[in-house]
């Protein structure tokens, strides 16, 4: 599942074509990735290999298309009238951190135009550049996919250590963050780990909102189209009971939990 060869490409992604982002697609009416109405830029490339990935077509770091950052800024400006007091731009993916250097520039430009920024990330990196990007992010949407590192590894192909470090860094800056959790039957719905997850972040002051995102099978077709093996083919969406249970557990630790 993990393609080390892509590491070299991934590094290039951050450096080559500094004025361009490699994106998968653009959604101008995003209402599910951050507050309000948002222009959501889905960037291309990810090094996680989450078993339940809904957008496997965004994984390949060489896929997608290059779009000039300034063009995206101009598009965002044309959407500004719709943003109201809450909306703005979200960069999701794929994994945005792979293009952190360019995104710093993108977010700075957006701020110059008075546009709110969100970053939807798995928190794979916590180096100096990543932190500079976080500092330019108004709301960090952090996906903490599992609290147990072993299971996290099985689930995503990588450790959760970096993700937890990113959370800690965010907390240290005092800037707001939303935590997101994909509820996958048999993988992430174990009550004991949900409790642990909740406990872990319960004292975080920057967590404004926690979102539970129930797994669904809408992504399975993409896996087929890409001729990639999809190991969750037979996994069904979580039951109402299991969703309510997760909600109930998280509600013990957080004030604002949204079941998507």
Partner 1 sequence: MKASVEKMEFAPGKWQTSVNVQDFVIKNITPYNGDASFLSGPSAKTTNLWNICKESLLKERANNGCLAIDVETISSINAFKPGYINKEDEVIVGLQTDQLLKRAMKPFGGIKLVESAVKERGLQVSDRVLDIFNYAKNHNEKVFDAYDKEIRDYRSKHILTGLPDNYARGRIIGDFRRVALYGIDQLIKFKREDHVKVDGEMNEHKVRLREEISAQISALQDMLIMAEDYGFDISQPAQNAKEAVQWVYFAYLAAVKEQDGAAMSLGNVSSFLDIYIDRDLKEGLITEDEAQELVDQFVMKLRMVRHLRPGAYDEIFGGDPTWVTECIGGMFNDGRTKVTKTSFRFLQTLYNLGASPEPNLTVLWSGDLPDGFKSFCAKVSIDTSSIQYENDDLMRTNRGSDDYGIACCVSHQEIGKSIQHFGARANLPKALLIALNGGREERGGALIMKDIPFINDEILDYDVVINAFKTSMKEVARVYAKSMYIIHYMHDKYYYERAQMALIDSDPHIDIAYGAAGISIIADSLSAIKYAKVKPIRDENGLTVDFNIEGDYPKFGNDDDRVDSIAQEITSFFINELRKHQAYKNATPTLSLLTITSNVMYGTNTGATPDGRKEGESFAPGANPMHGRDSSGAIASLNSVAKLSYNDAQDGISNTFSMIPKSLGDTREEQVTNLVNVLSGYFKQMAHHLNVNVLNRETLQDAYNHPENHPQLTIRVSGYAVNFVRLSRAHQLEVIARTFHEAM
- In this complex, which beta carbon is closest to partner 1, that of residue 36 or of residue 157? 36
Shortest distance (Å) from residue 202 CB to partner 1: 22
| Binding mask of the shown chain, residues 240 to 259, with x at each position contacting partner 1 by CB under 8 A | ------------------x-
- Window of 31-39, 123-131, 143-151, 239-247 that interacts with partner 1 by CB under 8 A: 31-39
Shortest distance (Å) from residue 3 CB to partner 1: 25
Count residues contacting partner 1 (CB under 8 A)?
24
- In this complex, which beta carbon is closest to partner 1, that of residue 83 or of residue 107? 83
- In this complex, which beta carbon is closest to partner 1, that of residue 67 or of residue 151? 67
Q: Of the candidates 105, 139, 135, which has an alpha carbon nearest to the alpha carbon of residue 14?
A: 105
215 binds partner 1, rule: CB under 8 A: no
Binding site for partner 1 (CB under 8 A): 25-32, 36-37, 39-40, 42, 75, 78-79, 81-84, 86-87, 258, 260
């Amino acid at each position: 599942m993990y393609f080390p060869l892509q590491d070299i490409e991934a590094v290039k992604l951050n450096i080559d074509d500094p004025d361009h982002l490699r994106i998968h697609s653009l959604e101008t009416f995003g209402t599910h990735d951050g507050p309000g109405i948002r222009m959501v830029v889905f960037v291309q490339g990810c090094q996680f290999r989450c078993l339940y990935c809904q957008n496997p077509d965004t994984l390949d770091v060489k896929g997608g298309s290059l779009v000039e950052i300034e063009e995206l800024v101009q598009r965002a400006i044309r959407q500004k009238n719709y943003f109201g007091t809450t909306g703005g731009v979200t960069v999701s993916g794929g994994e945005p951190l792979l293009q952190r250097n360019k995104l710093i520039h993108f977010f700075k430009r957006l701020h110059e135009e008075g546009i709110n920024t969100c970053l939807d990330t798995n928190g794979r990196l916590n180096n100096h550049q990543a932190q500079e990007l976080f500092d330019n992010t108004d709301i960090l949407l952090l996906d903490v996919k599992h609290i147990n590192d072993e299971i996290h590894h099985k689930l995503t192909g990588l450790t959760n250590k970096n993700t937890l470090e990113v959370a800690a860094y965010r907390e240290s800056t005092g800037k707001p963050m939303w935590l997101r959790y994909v509820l996958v039957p048999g993988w992430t719905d174990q009550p004991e780990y949900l409790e642990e997850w909740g406990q872990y972040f319960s004292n975080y002051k920057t967590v404004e909102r926690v979102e539970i995102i129930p797994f669904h099978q809408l992504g399975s077709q993409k896996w087929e189209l890409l001729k990639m093996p999809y190991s969750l083919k037979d996994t069904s969406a979580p039951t109402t009971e299991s969703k309510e249970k997760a909600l109930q557990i998280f509600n013990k630790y957080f004030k604002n939990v949204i079941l998507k």
